[in-house]
């Protein structure tokens, strides 16, 4: 059992409150699939409702902190601290009634992520991490896997979106990785959960292009605090500017960079 900081407690509380709405709305999706209009507008509403609860709760506890969130964008307050929020990560899964999506919240201080939580409300899996204090799944310590040979690894990715001008590159990377691993590459549809799964040792490596900061903010600290590496495709720390992210168990980092470079 770990001791959580006040900030993690604030994040968990906000997340659990918002998750109640998310679970209730997910239960409605099945009915809407068969309706003529489909669940599109309903999901957009859901996304906004969840975001509002999260921001209201987080700012109630920390009124001076700034916010960056997928739907509303930026709220500028305190210079040092910023909540980075993705209310539903894995929106397409949610819309199709597939129970694999998450709420993701990161806390940045002076440009560095210091806390993160990723919550899968359907499986009731709460991933939390804090700088210097390790990564946890439902209060149990988690660590990255120890596999050191890429061929034995479970590798995951996401994208490309059909309007991406880097589709060809992404598909080439997919082909290259596919020829190196025995288990076919997984695409689970939620970047934050992909990173949480690497942190928990369920998967060994994750790469993706064109993600936004809110997709990866919480995942970054989870990976670091579970003993993994997070870099861009060049092995540098410019994953936000370069919009390429590689998260691994550390052991296969160099091998994955070589494949991305080939
Ligand atoms: P979302 O559900 O919040 O939109 C699917 O591959 C994952 O990538 C999801 O986490 C999805 O987040 C995210 N994603 C967001 N923007 C993307 C983009 N431009 N290209 C690929 N994936 C994107
Ligand atoms: Ca997202």
Ligand 1 within 6 A of 211 CB? yes
Percent above pLDDT 90 for the chain: 85
Lowest-confidence region among 135-139, 157-161, 215-219: 157-161
CA of 170 to the centre of ligand 1 (A): 14
The CATH superfamily holding the domain 6-142 is Fructose-1,6-Bisphosphatase, subunit A, domain 1 (3.30.540.10)
What is each CA distance from 221 to 74, 104, 235, 254, in whole angstroms? Answer: 21, 12, 17, 20
Summary mean pLDDT of the chain: 94
The mean pLDDT of 43-72, rounded to a whole number, is: 95
**Whether the predicted pLDDT of 4 surpasses 80:** no
What backbone phi and psi angles, to 5 degrees, belong to 214?
-70, -20
Distance separating alpha carbons of residues 262 and 259, to the nearest angstrom: 5
Distance separating alpha carbons of residues 246 and 255, to the nearest angstrom: 11
- Give pLDDT, residue 237: 92
**To which H or E segment does residue 74 belong?**
strand 73-75
**Whether the predicted pLDDT of 59 surpasses 90:** yes
Ligand 1 within 6 A of 46 CB? no
Give the position, in ligand 1's atom list, of the atom nearest the Cα of 88.
Answer: 3
**Whether the predicted pLDDT of 87 surpasses 70:** yes
Domains of the chain, residue spans: 6-142, 150-260
pTM equals 0.96
Q: Which CATH number fits domain 150-260: 3.20.20.70, 3.40.50.10470, 3.80.30.20, 3.40.190.80?
A: 3.40.190.80
């Amino acid at each position: 059992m770990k001791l959580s900081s006040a900030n993690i407690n604030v994040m968990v509380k906000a997340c659990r409150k918002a998750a109640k709405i998310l679970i209730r709305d997910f239960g409605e999706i099945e009915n809407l699939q068969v309706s003529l209009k489909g669940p599109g507008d309903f999901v957009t509403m859901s996304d906004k409702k969840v975001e509002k609860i999260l921001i209201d709760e987080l700012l109630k506890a920390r009124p001076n902190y700034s916010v960056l969130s997928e739907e509303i964008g930026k709220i500028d307050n305190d210079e040092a601290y910023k909540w980075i929020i993705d209310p539903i990560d894995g929106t397409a899964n949610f819309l199709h009634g597939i129970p694999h999506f998450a709420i993701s919240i990161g806390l940045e201080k002076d440009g560095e992520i210091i806390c993160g939580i990723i919550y899968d409300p359907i499986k009731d899996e709460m991933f939390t991490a804090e700088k210097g204090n390790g990564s946890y799944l439902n209060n149990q310590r988690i660590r990255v896997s120890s596999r050191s040979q890429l061929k034995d690894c479970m590798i995951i990715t996401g994208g490309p979106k059909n309007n991406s001008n880097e589709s060809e590159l992404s598909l080439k990377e997919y082909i290259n990785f596919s020829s190196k691993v025995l288990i076919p590459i997984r695409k689970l549809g939620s970047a934050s959960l992909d990173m949480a799964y690497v942190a928990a040792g369920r998967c060994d490596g994750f790469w993706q292009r064109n993600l936004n900061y809110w997709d990866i903010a919480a995942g970054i600290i989870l990976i670091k605090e579970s003993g993994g590496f997070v870099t861009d495709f060049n092995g540098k720390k410019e994953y936000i500017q370069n919009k390429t992210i590689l998260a691994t168990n550390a052991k296969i980092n160099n091998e994955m960079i070589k494949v991305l470079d080939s």
